[in-house]
Structure 1
Amino acid sequence: MAGEIPPAQPPPGPPPRPLLWRWRRNPLRRRTDALQAWLGLGVLITVLAVAPVVAVLVADTARGHYEDTARHQKQTRYEADAALTEDAPRHPEPGSDEEKRTRYPVEVRVVTREGRTRTTRTEVQPGLTAGNTVRIWVTADGEATDAPLTAGEIRSRTMGWALVAAIGVALTGAAAHALTGLALRRRNLAHWDTAWAETAPRWTTPT
């Protein structure tokens, strides 16, 4: 229909631009471009400042937790001899490296510190027969369990949590920057629609 304002089309995607183009003065740079550049710099500085602090705090908390856990485990667990009550399966590749790493769950009989005999299940090497004795860690009631955490395991888990914390801060900063960029882009598109509404009538001629 003559005189009808055609709908605004979004501006074309930005062409390849040199690094730090938002910091350079040029007629095409919008106010939001400079704002986004400053916000990006602020997010980067914040992440670089906050991430190490958060990582140290999380690492300290994690180390304290795992050290307490290790102390409790050493107080409530001990090693005991356990006799197999059944044969362990044989590995299909005897003598292989895989056999050396493989463990099969079997039922074993242990005697607790209180002198009570009970059965539990633990993992043993392939090919052991009933009556063989293995050394395992058990709880106070004779239940098979893992060995207490070692200093190396505590250190590894602590570093893992510190790394997760640092990555979490970085991802949070990246998400904040992305959301900010999306908001600025929507604002630019709204301004584009407004400008088009003012300009389009000049390009239309009633017939």
Structure 2
Amino acid sequence: MRAIRGLWRWRHNPLRRTTDLAEAWVALGALLLILVAAPLVGLLVGGLAEDALQQSVREQRQDRHPVVATVVRKADLTPFDPDPETSTGRDSHSRVIADWTAPDGTARHGSVMAALESPRRGDHFTVWTDEHGRIVGRPLDTATAATHAVLAGFGTAAAFAGIIEGSRRLVVWRMVRRRYDRWDHAWSQAGPDWGRTGTGS
């Protein structure tokens, strides 16, 4: 972006080349796009993501229901269960065999993850099910949906700015390459002994 600072200085400079001014204008255009267009694109994408995620929140709240389950017994450990010595984020969860009643009134029985550190027979905990009593994940909440939308907007704005800057660098690189090609052509036309012209040697 140093070319922008030189834009004013190059206006009437007799040493100014056409490419110098072109590079400065390309840099200025890229800066304006980064400052204006990138935030607008980020806002647009963030708004669309917010609408889609909030719609998903509403649908999940309609389709998923919290029900109270009762522990029958602790489930046997399987080879797929995490090592108790290395478990991290799920330390407060235990796999149990439990009974619960589906929203449609049918009795259900099965293995579920309970938010209990030391589950005992008869303990109660909440699980989320669909209308038929099948275990599903907790529905997305409004705050999480808004956070995802904001991150999507920021990410899109940053990516758009990166594309603009990459395009600017590519254009300037092509300008410099063309300038060097013209110099090489002019040098080849001048000849290898141009400095001795008229010396009589």
TM-score, structure 1 normalization:
0.74
Q: Which amino acid counterpart does residue 175 of structure 1 have in structure 2?
A: G
2:60 — aligned with what? 73
Of the three residues 128, 134, 154, the one matched with 2:119 is 128
- Which residue identity is paired with 2:56? T
Q: Which amino acid aligns with 1:106?
A: R
d(CA) in 1 for partners of 2:89, 2:116: 7
2:74 to 86, 96, 116: 86
User: Aligned pair count?
Assistant: 186
Contact 1:59 1:158 in 2 (8 A): yes
Contact kept, 8 Å, 1:88 with 1:129, in 2: the verdict is no
Structure 1 stretches of at least 4 aligned residues deviating more than 3 Å after TM superposition: 25-29, 87-92, 98-101
**Which of 92, 95, 117 is the matching residue for 1:106?**
95
Select 1:198's aligned residue among 168, 189, 195: 189
> Equivalent residue for 1:30?
17
> What's the CA shift for 1:101?
6.9
| Closer, same or farther: CA 120–138 of 1 in aligned 2, 3 Å | farther
Structure 1 counterpart of 2:80: none
Write out per-residue CA displacement over residues 143-202 of structure 1, whole angstroms, 9 at most, x where no aligned residue: 333322222112211111111121122112111101111111111111121122123422
Relative contact order, higher structure (CA 8 A, sep 6+) = 1
CA contact (8 A) 1:63 1:158 kept: yes
After superposition, what is the alpha-carbon deviation per residue over 1:41-95, rounded to whole angstroms, capped at 9, x for unaligned?
0111123221232222212211111111111111111111223331699966xxx
Specify every segment of 5 or more residues in structure 1 that has no aligned partner in the other structure, as ranges. Answer: 1-16, 93-97
- Tell me if the contact between 2:3 and 2:23 (Cα under 8 Å) persists in the aligned partners: no
Contact kept, 8 Å, 1:56 with 1:162, in 2: the verdict is: yes
1: CA distance, partners of 2:23 / 2:88: 59
State whether residues 4 and 28 of structure 2, in contact with CA within 8 Å, keep that contact through their aligned partners in structure 1: no
Contact kept in structure 1, 2:53 and 2:145, CA below 8 Å: yes
Report the CA distance between 1:127 and its aligned residue.
2.7
SS in structure 1 at match of 2:129: strand
Tell me the percent identity. 24
Residue type matched to 1:48 in 2? L
Partner of 1:21: 6
Asked if 1:42 is matched to 2:29, the reply is: yes
Q: Structure 1, residues 19-57: CA drift from partner, whole Å, max 9, x if none?
A: 823542345543212101101101111232212322222
Calculate the TM-score normalised by the size of structure 2.
Answer: 0.76
Measured in 2, the distance between the counterparts of 1:50 and 1:88 equals 57
RMSD (CA atoms): 3.2
